[in-house]
Structure 1
Amino acid sequence: MTDQDTTTETEPRATTDTTVVSEPTSISELDSQSEVGLAGYNYAYLDEHTKREVRRSVLKAIAIPGHQVPFASREMPLARGWGTGGIQVSMSLLGPDDTFKVIDQGSDESVNAANIRRLAKATADVETTTDTTGASIIQTRHRIPEEVLTEDQILVLQVPTTDPLRRVDGSDAANRRRHAHKDYSKMWVALYENVVEWDEIQISARYPVMVNERYLMDPSPIPRWDTTKFNDADSLFLLAAGREARIYAVPPHTDVEPLAFEDRSFQVERFDDEQCHRCGSTDTYLTEVTDDDGVTRYACNDASFCEKRVTNPDLTKDHHLDTDDVAWGPKTPDPILTDGEAVVEMDGSDEPAKSDAAQGGEDA
């Protein structure tokens, strides 16, 4: 036996540390770990390199309103298409002093919204809320809240499809060239053909808008009711798609105008003489529901605002602001919707064309 063999046998073997760090069981334990986040995770789940990269993409998107900025989308603890892009943006922006709200098609209590809210609470230890006016960062799927957003709030929208031109051409390379040259003639032709066939533009959600008179933008699958809320808003809108790895933004006080023709102005959903069966609202976006007896009713889609209206039926959408008559969607002063010109249908009547929502139009 050689000296080398003897040395190898007598040396102690290195041991592997298998100590498992237990998760906190109380708020005090969670607070003590605030510098590193929840045990086993980085603060706000994402690593710092990822968060910095997302923030850089967000800054570029803000600098070029409506432009789609690519970013390195990471794997998240849910399937792509269920808000992975929105989560990455929200987690990259959340700080200890933020209050986080999550909406899924108007509801705070859906499974997806509740799980995203719990993820932020567990990994970032931020306060969460269901009150729109009390949140600093709001992540939403397919809706913009009824209450007016302020300059201190950021709305993060989950986006499944980023490019509005994909409706008319499936080639992303060709569509990027069109954006670069501001060549949107193919979209205008598609809208014209829609009017010729149906006497109105049959797009119920993802209605294309022009941002800052430069970029055509997909506003995410929000109803037309919410589309005008982008225009000259006080808040910052961030739109993110994890599956397509794109981020784009609408900064505060940016001109956002839905595409329309001079003789076919932009129209929102109409709920002829209907009102919410819970709070009686007639100036909110309503959802048609059918109960077990087959009776059709309408309810406010924004559940949080509906609860407030149940308590105070006279509550306005800008009740938390010092100013009145804020332009925020339909039934409020809005230059896009109050041009003073009535839309004439093919039958010659003076009533505006009925909405896709009321007619069961195209579903995005």
Structure 2
Amino acid sequence: MKIAYNFAFFDEGSKREIRRAALKAIAIPGYQVPFASREMPIARGWGTGGLQLTLSLAGRDDILKVIDQGSDESVNAVNIKKLVSGTTGIPQTDSTAEATLIQSRHRIPEVPLKPGQILVLQVPIPEPLRPYEPSEHETKTLHAEKEYSGAWLMLFEQIMKYGTMTTNADHPVLVNGRYVMAPSPIPRFDNPKMDHSEALILLGAGREKKVYAVPPYTKVTSLDFEDFPFQKESFEGKSCRQCGAADVFLDELIDEKTGETYHQCNDTSFCLETLNGRAEAVRG
């Protein structure tokens, strides 16, 4: 027997509650807004926070794109697309430029986002102060008092011990000059894309029951020091073996036949569109 779900799986009351949390998050950039995280047909920790935002925001005129660590065809991405499309009927696309609603895990697309688009990032740990303060009550107090010396001390210790900042992903950022925020486990390469983004960026943590946001054209600065500035991953002198793209986030792979190392675009749809001559035109 076929079960008829409500549009976008949730009842309308649940969607309204999640939207209210998202609106509050937009009004206070970088602030973590608690919400009543719903039970989902996937386990918490597998993107339920982002999925709840996507389902609550999806409209009949939307076009959906879902990526997981740069891939449109990973198990996580495919199953999320099946659930959203199966309960809404909205079309899917692999093209960043065509999508109105983009859900992502661990990456911001290479093609610049534009006004009217919404990027939803899946977040496992929304609290940037958690590595050195386990108490939720204390982290709330630190945010309220804008006491972030621990965050800088954590980075300072990394520099003293390893000679560099070792936050290869989820490097903390300062949003709108007020709240230190976890940008989700995106690579440092993607942090600058948040700064004055033309699209709305929403971040959802289902297990931790938090929603937060970076509204369009908001200043986002990666934490660093005057004498030790923030640096994203460098791929200077390297390019994608498949499409030839440079100045993008590249995966380092090994050719099984020759044993040689080569590089390839992490963003698979960008790579295919570049081969067809479309992505670089949009990006440029």
Q: Deviations over 1:249-274 (max 9, x none)?
A: 00001010001111111101012422
Is the counterpart of residue 166 in structure 1 residue 130 in structure 2? yes
The AA in structure 1 aligned to 2:207 is: R
Among residues 296, 300, 303, which one is paired with 2:265 in the alignment? 300
Find the residue that maps to 2:174 and give its secondary structure. Answer: strand
In 1, the alpha carbon distance for the partners of 2:159 and 2:124 equals 26
- Match of residue 142 from structure 1: 106
* Residues 162 and 220 in structure 1, CA contact (< 8 A), matched pair in contact too: yes
- Match of residue 100 from structure 1: 64
Find the residue that maps to 2:50 and give its secondary structure. Answer: helix
Counting aligned pairs with the same residue, the percent is 51
In 2, the alpha carbon distance for the partners of 1:272 and 1:257 equals 23
The AA in structure 1 aligned to 2:94 is: T
Q: Deviations over 1:313-347 (max 9, x none)?
A: 8824535xxxxxxxxxxxxxxxxxxxxxxxxxxxx
In 1, the alpha carbon distance for the partners of 2:56 and 2:278 equals 38
Is the counterpart of residue 205 in structure 1 residue 169 in structure 2? yes
Is the counterpart of residue 120 in structure 1 residue 98 in structure 2? no
Larger Rg: 1
The AA in structure 1 aligned to 2:78 is: A
Cα separation, partners in 2 of 1:266 and 1:313, compared to 1, 3 Å:
same
In 2, the alpha carbon distance for the partners of 1:256 and 1:280 equals 30
- Match of residue 221 from structure 2: 257
The AA in structure 2 aligned to 1:303 is: T
- TM-score, structure 2 length as denominator? 0.96
Among residues 149, 155, 158, which one is paired with 2:119 in the alignment? 155
* Residues 133 and 147 in structure 1, CA contact (< 8 A), matched pair in contact too: yes
The AA in structure 2 aligned to 1:300 is: C
* Residues 98 and 137 in structure 1, CA contact (< 8 A), matched pair in contact too: yes
Q: How does 1:81-100 map to 2 (within 5 A)?
A: 81-100=45-64
The AA in structure 1 aligned to 2:270 is: F
- Match of residue 198 from structure 2: 234
The AA in structure 2 aligned to 1:165 is: L
Is the counterpart of residue 79 in structure 1 residue 66 in structure 2? no
In 2, the alpha carbon distance for the partners of 1:163 and 1:183 equals 14
In 2, the alpha carbon distance for the partners of 1:254 and 1:67 equals 13
Cα separation, partners in 2 of 1:190 and 1:94, compared to 1, 3 Å:
same
- Measure how far apart 1:310 and its partner are: 1.3
In 1, the alpha carbon distance for the partners of 2:105 and 2:17 equals 23
In 2, the alpha carbon distance for the partners of 1:114 and 1:154 equals 19
- Measure how far apart 1:149 and its partner are: 0.5
Of residues 70-79 and 186-195 in structure 1, the stretch that sits farther from structure 2 once superposed is 186-195
In 2, the alpha carbon distance for the partners of 1:310 and 1:153 equals 24
Among residues 62, 76, 87, which one is paired with 2:26 in the alignment? 62
In 2, the alpha carbon distance for the partners of 1:199 and 1:56 equals 44
In 1, the alpha carbon distance for the partners of 2:34 and 2:253 equals 39
In 2, the alpha carbon distance for the partners of 1:316 and 1:139 equals 23
> Superposition RMSD on alpha carbons, in Å?
1.3
- Match of residue 337 from structure 1: none
In 2, the alpha carbon distance for the partners of 1:296 and 1:158 equals 31
Which structure 2 residue ranges, 5 or more long, are not aligned? Answer: none
- Match of residue 274 from structure 2: 309
- Match of residue 230 from structure 2: 266
- Measure how far apart 1:309 and its partner are: 1.2
* Residues 111 and 279 in structure 2, CA contact (< 8 A), matched pair in contact too: no
In 2, the alpha carbon distance for the partners of 1:115 and 1:235 equals 25
- TM-score, structure 1 length as denominator? 0.76
In 2, the alpha carbon distance for the partners of 1:211 and 1:246 equals 17
Is the counterpart of residue 280 in structure 1 residue 244 in structure 2? yes
The AA in structure 2 aligned to 1:309 is: T
How many residue pairs get matched? 283
* Residues 280 and 313 in structure 1, CA contact (< 8 A), matched pair in contact too: no
Find the residue that maps to 1:92 and give its secondary structure. Answer: helix
In 1, the alpha carbon distance for the partners of 2:65 and 2:276 equals 21
In 1, the alpha carbon distance for the partners of 2:157 and 2:279 equals 43
Q: Deviations over 1:44-68 (max 9, x none)?
A: 1111111000000000000000000
- Measure how far apart 1:114 and its partner are: 0.9
Among residues 53, 58, 69, which one is paired with 2:17 in the alignment? 53
